[in-house]
């Protein structure tokens, strides 16, 4: 449905462009890519669950979570967190009194955009509801291996800037530890060595698609990303279950972690996966918001005018071509980026449903829908930016001291 609608819209671009654009879109629908280094095309999440071998979060599991949390986060109710590994085991252990810890992270390589916040907002909710520790990794070396011009000096700056966005979400400093790979190397490297010894080059080739031209830093890196999944167990001298919330593109790393850690005597880390916030260009062309495409990305530091301009100009619309037609036939919320973003940022189910229904019926116009989104996002960002400023006074409290 979504793709057909997009292709129809390209028809109006004129015959000259039609063929190549049309083919490009068919290509993106059929050949999507999801790896830790690249996300492209319209993502078929169903297919990812099958290919990666994860499990859907079903109704039964939701009920079990709700027993402990009292309510379900909108991301769970709406299937934004849609897949998992061993989450049932994490709950079994929790119910026996064996608490888990949370682990997630961010490779600093540029400013944070609102898509990055999705797994972190959810992690904050989990921390609060289950009252557990969080280990947050900033692998400041990671992206230097993958981006030609990015240096350690650059990522050092972004580590600090990105950490402010994380702190702004309200994590409890007493229960949250930031690990910065080059700063905490004294503690982390020793553990990475044990992991690296269990991973062959042929495994990294198969899992990540590396070749003989890949620099050896990139090949080693995955060992560093496994470390926080068992570091608390090392430090406390006993096995502690680990739950990792992340966007599904990171899964390749943790398939390796789950393979290696039992060989070192630790639990396999459990995981809970989210879908991507699409870029303003829409779910076909931009299944994932991308920092390198500035105009179709909203950064956490964008001012209200910038947010407004980008949405008005670029938010892919599921509306009809003219107002008359829209009033008659209605819009399509499934492909409309403004509506899709509201499913992430409007917590009130009733409000969201009304917007959905009014859009389908044609009562709500695309321009009006965009205004709702602009207001919602700007209110969110205003608060976020205030907290981000305050975070500067608290940064040091979060850094793990080895």
Interaction residues for ligand TRP, span 332-361 (CB under 6 A) = none
Q: Could you tell me the two tokens for 95?
A: 């119910």
Helix (H, G, I), strand (E, B) or coil at 401: coil
Task: Tell which one of 107, 117, 118, 277 touches ligand TRP (CB under 6 A).
Answer: 107
Crossing angle (nearest 10°) for helices 216-226 and 185-196: 100
**Is the separation of the CB atoms in 120 and 105 below 8 Å?**
no
Is 191 a residue that touches ligand TRP (CB under 6 A)?
no
Binding mask 247-266 for ligand TRP (x = CB under 6 A): ---x----------------
247: tokens are 């966007």
Q: Find the binder of ligand TRP among 42, 104, 297, 300 (CB under 6 A).
A: 104
In whole angstroms, how large is the CA radius of gyration of the chain? 22
- Residue 139 lies near ligand TRP (rule: CB under 6 A): yes
Helices (H) and strands (E) in the chain, counts: 19, 9
- Under the binding rule (CB under 6 A), the answer on residue 137 touching ligand TRP is yes
**CB nearer to ligand TRP: pick between 253 and 370:** 253
Judging by beta carbons within 10 Å of its beta carbon (0-12, 13-18, 19+), is residue 54 exposed, middle or buried?
buried
Count of other CB atoms within 10 angstroms of residue 175: 14
Residue 167 near residue 394, CB atoms below 8 Å: yes
Nearer to ligand TRP, 3 or 132 (CB): 132
Count the neighbouring beta carbons within 10 Å of the beta carbon of residue 318. 26
Contact 181/228 with Cβ under 8 angstroms? no
Structure tokens at 374: 């602009």
The span of 16-24, 104-112, 203-211, 337-345 binding ligand TRP (CB under 6 A) equals 104-112
Is 232 one of the binding residues for ligand TRP (CB under 6 A)?
no
Decide whether 106 or 113 has the Cβ nearer to ligand TRP. Answer: 106
Among 79-87, 98-106, 309-317, 338-346, which window interacts with ligand TRP (CB under 6 A)?
98-106
Residue 105, interface with ligand TRP (CB under 6 A)? yes
Nearer to ligand TRP by Cβ, of 269 and 319: the residue is 269
Residue count at the site for ligand TRP (CB under 6 A)? 13
Distance in Å, CB of 368 to ligand TRP, minimum: 36
Residue nearest to ligand TRP (CB): 105
Residues 337 and 278: beta-carbon distance below 8 Å: yes
* Residue corresponding to tokens 């280094």: 37
Among 244, 274, 283, 335, binds ligand TRP (CB under 6 A): 244
Measured in residues, the chain has a length of 402
Residue 115 engages ligand TRP in binding (rule: CB under 6 A): no
Region of residue 282 (left: phi > 0; alpha: psi -120 to 50; beta: else): left
Between 142 and 336, whose beta carbon lies closer to ligand TRP? Answer: 142
Residues 20-59 that bind ligand TRP (CB under 6 A): 36
Closest distance to ligand TRP from the beta carbon of 121 (Å): 14
| Chain contacts with ligand TRP (rule: CB under 6 A) | 36, 103-107, 137, 139, 142, 225, 244, 246, 250
């Amino acid at each position: 449905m979504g793709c057909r609608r997009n292709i129809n819209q390209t028809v109006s671009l004129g015959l000259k462009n039609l063929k190549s654009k049309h083919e490009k879109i068919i290509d993106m629908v059929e050949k999507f890519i999801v790896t830790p280094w690249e996300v492209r095309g319209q993502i078929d999440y169903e297919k990812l669950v099958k290919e990666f071998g994860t499990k859907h979060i079903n109704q039964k599991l939701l009920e079990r979570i709700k027993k402990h949390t009292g309510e379900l986060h909108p991301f769970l109710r709406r299937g934004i967190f849609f897949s998992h590994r061993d989450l049932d085991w994490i709950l079994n252990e929790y119910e026996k009194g064996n608490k888990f810890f949370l682990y997630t992270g961010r490779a600093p390589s540029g400013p944070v955009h609102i898509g990055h916040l999705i797994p972190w907002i959810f992690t904050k909710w989990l921390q609060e509801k289950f009252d557990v520790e969080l280990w947050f990794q900033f692998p400041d070396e990671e992206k230097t291996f993958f981006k030609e011009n990015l240096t350690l000096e650059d990522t050092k700056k972004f580590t600090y800037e990105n950490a402010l966005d994380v702190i702004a979400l309200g994590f409890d400093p007493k229960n949250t530890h930031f690990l910065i790979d080059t700063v905490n190397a004294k503690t982390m490297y020793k553990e990475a060595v044990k992991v690296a010894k269990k991973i062959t080059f042929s495994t990294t080739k198969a899992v990540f698609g590396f070749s003989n031209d890949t620099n050896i830093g990139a090949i080693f890196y995955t060992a560093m990303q496994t470390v926080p999944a068992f570091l608390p167990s090392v430090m406390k001298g006993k096995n502690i279950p680990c739950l990792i919330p992340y966007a599904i593109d990171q899964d390749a790393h943790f398939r390796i972690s789950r393979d290696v850690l039992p060989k070192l005597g630790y639990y396999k880390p459990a995981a809970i996966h989210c879908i991507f916030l699409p870029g303003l260009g829409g779910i076909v062309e931009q299944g994932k918001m991308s920092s390198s495409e500035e105009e179709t990305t909203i950064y956490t530091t964008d001012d209200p005018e910038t947010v407004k301009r980008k949405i008005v100009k670029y938010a892919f619309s599921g509306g009809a071509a003219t107002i008359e037609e829209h009033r008659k036939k209605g819009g399509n919320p499934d492909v409309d980026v403004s509506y899709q973003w509201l499913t992430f940022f409007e917590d009130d189910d009733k409000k969201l449903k009304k917007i959905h229904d009014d859009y389908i019926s044609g009562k709500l116009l695309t321009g009006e829908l965009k205004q709702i989104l602009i207001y919602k996002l700007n209110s969110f960002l205003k608060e976020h930016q205030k907290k981000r400023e305050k975070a500067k006074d608290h940064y040091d409290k979060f850094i793990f001291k080895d």
